[in-house]
Amino acid sequence: MNTSLALAGIIIGGIAAILVLKFIMRCVEAKHAERARRQEALAPASGTYDSAAAAAGAPPHHHRVRVEMESVNRFLDDILREKPARFTPENLREFTGDYAERVGAGGFGVVYRGSFPNGVQVAVKILHSTLDRRAEEQFMAEVGTAARTYHINLVRLYGFCFDATTKALVYEYLENGSLDRILFDQEHHRGRRDGAGVEFDTLHGIVVGTARGVRYLHEECQHRIIHYDIKPGNVLLAADYAPKVADFGLAKLCNRDNTHLTMTGARGTPGYAAPELWLPLPVTHKCDVYSFGMLVFEILGRRRNLVSQHPAESQEWYPKWVWQRFDQGRFYEVMAASGIRRKDGEKAERMCMVALWCIQYQPEARPSMSSVVRMLEGEEQIARPVNPFTKQIDFG
């Protein structure tokens, strides 16, 4: 009797195992099918660059250029296996309606609004045709970095185009544009009752979300990623003002075991870049912490940190002005100058203290981004900041 029961149990268990295995296989097949449908919706079958055909219709190139293109193509093909799709120039013209709506421009190209055939809105960044070697490296860094990252507070890269005539990046489209537009664009502010366009709680949420995005790059990726250019222009805002860190063109992957990097030239943007990026000092991920602190000051003041006055007047550097009032117990003057209401005073002072810690001259004195997030959210006590301006250097 016991033997029969044991045998029956084995048979039932075997049947159950087979059913579970079949269920798992169906789930995997469904997942692959869904992925195939998405790729088909995003990129037509012709979305792969044919180097031979392009070379036939393109002006003759030096053999060295052709070899470099082939090496770049191999790099991009490897990236394609991870996430981004590869588009043709024809795809881009179709997505953008022949580049009908221009939404922005920068040092390396122009951004157009478009949409995929399935209706998903995208931003297409067309890079200038005369790219030098440094710009090509930035293009590859952008694709390579974005392909390895996915976070709610990072801009998603859908795909790219790289051939002899067109080089472009295709991102998700974010309705409210860049953070610098809502902070500094007077046209955006005109006619609004509060003058600054958004409530302080929204600005605080932008600060916290941006910090989470940088934390992901530093601490949650398989390989630490240093952005090198955190600033309002590289923080984009969704319809609900949820922030997403963008532009990994200066980013550099590094192993977590490597605490210092060897720099081949100055990086970042003056006014946001940490001192070690411009001086012969070791560079770590703490340079992003410094830039984040500068960004927080501009959000706190709803103005640029350095405002050029009349030529006869001296220039006023906002972070130092804030430190002097904070140190003297006059933070209420900072709030009054920025139109911050009393009910938001606690969050504002917390933002100020975090920013003062982030811009410390010595990188080791700056907090980690995980600590920054906890302090901003009130989950970690903030020690009284020390003077970050004991070293006299030119931050302009």
Is residue 179 within 8 A of residue 243, CB to CB? The reply is yes
Cα 246 to Cα 291: distance, rounded to the nearest angstrom: 14
Q: Given a cut of 60, is residue 187 above it in pLDDT?
A: no
Going by pLDDT thresholds of 50, 70 and 90, the confidence category of residue 342 is very high
Mean pLDDT to the nearest integer, 204-219 = 97
DSSP conformational letter for 155: P
Please determine, for residue 98, whether its predicted confidence score (pLDDT) is greater than 70: yes
Rounded Cα–Cα distance for residues 42 and 47 (Å): 9
Q: What does the longest C-alpha to C-alpha distance in the chain come to?
A: 104
Q: At residue 21, does pLDDT exceed 60?
A: no
Mean pLDDT of all residues belonging to the chain: 79
**Cβ neighbours of residue 5 closer than 8 Å, sequence gap 6 or more:** none
What DSSP string runs through 359-392?
A: T-SSGGGSPPHHHHHHHHTTSSPPPPPPPTTSS-
Report pLDDT digits (tens) over 133-185: 777 777 777 787 777 788 999 999 899 998 888 889 999 999 999 999 999 87
* Measured distance CA(287)–CA(273) in Å, rounded: 7
pLDDT above 60: residue 102: yes
Q: Does 244 carry a binding-site annotation?
A: no
Are the CB atoms for 84 and 159 separated by under 8 Å?
Answer: yes
pLDDT of residue 76: 55
Asked whether the whole model's pTM tops 0.95, one would answer no
* pLDDT surpasses 80 at 194: no
User: Over 60: is that where the pLDDT of 315 sits?
Assistant: no
Asked if 124 and 92 touch (Cβ cutoff 8 Å), the reply is yes
pLDDT of residue 90: 96
Range in 172-186, 231-245, 258-272 with the lowest mean pLDDT:
258-272
Q: Which residue has the higher pLDDT, 81 or 290?
A: 290
Q: Is the pLDDT of residue 50 over 60?
A: no
Least confident of 214-228, 252-266, 314-328, 381-395: 252-266
Instruction: Name the more confident of 162 and 235.
Output: 235
For 307-346, b where at least 16 C-beta lie within 10 A, e where not — what string?
eeeeeeeeeebbbebbbebbeeeebeebbebbebeeebee
| pLDDT number for residue 55 | 39
Q: Is the pLDDT of residue 306 over 60?
A: yes
Which residues are annotated as catalytic? 229
Q: Which two tokens stand for residue 81?
A: 């296996």
The domain segmentation of the chain, as residue ranges, is 55-172, 179-376
380 exposed, middle or buried (CB, 10 Å; 0-12, 13-18, 19+)? middle
- Work out the average pLDDT over 371-389: 96
Q: What integer pLDDT is reported at residue 265 of this predicted model?
A: 54
pLDDT at residue 73 greater than cutoff 70: no
pLDDT band at 11 (very low <50, low <70, confident <90, very high): low
Identify the pLDDT of residue 197: 72
Domain 179-376 coded CATH 2.30.40.10? no
Q: Quickly state the pLDDT bin for 188 (edges 50, 70, 90).
A: low
Banded pLDDT at 239 (limits 50, 70, 90): very high
314 pLDDT higher than 60: no
Q: 189-193, 258-262, 277-281: which has the highest mean pLDDT? A: 277-281
pLDDT of residue 35: 58
CA distances from 301 to 160, 188, 339 (A): 37, 17, 9
- The domain defined by 55-172 folds into Phosphorylase Kinase; domain 1 (3.30.200)
What is the predicted pLDDT for the residue at 277?
85
Give the side-chain half-sphere CA count within 13 A for 373.
13
Give the H/E segment covering residue 160.
strand 157-162
CB within 8 Å of 287: residues ≥ 6 apart: 226, 228, 268, 273, 274, 276, 277, 363
Which pLDDT does position 247 carry in this prediction?
85
Q: At CB < 8 A and 24+ separation, what contacts does 335-342 make?
A: 337/301, 338/300, 338/301, 338/302, 338/303, 339/194, 339/195, 339/196, 339/302, 340/200, 341/200
Q: Where are the alpha helices (DSSP H) in 58-88?
A: 63-80
Nearest to 355 by CA among 229, 191, 245, 211: 211
Residue partners of 92: CB distance under 8 A and separation at least 6: 114, 124, 126, 161, 166, 168, 170
Q: What is the per-residue pLDDT for 373?
A: 98
Asked whether residue 26 carries a pLDDT value surpassing 60, the answer given is yes
Q: Which two tokens stand for residue 388?
A: 């970050």
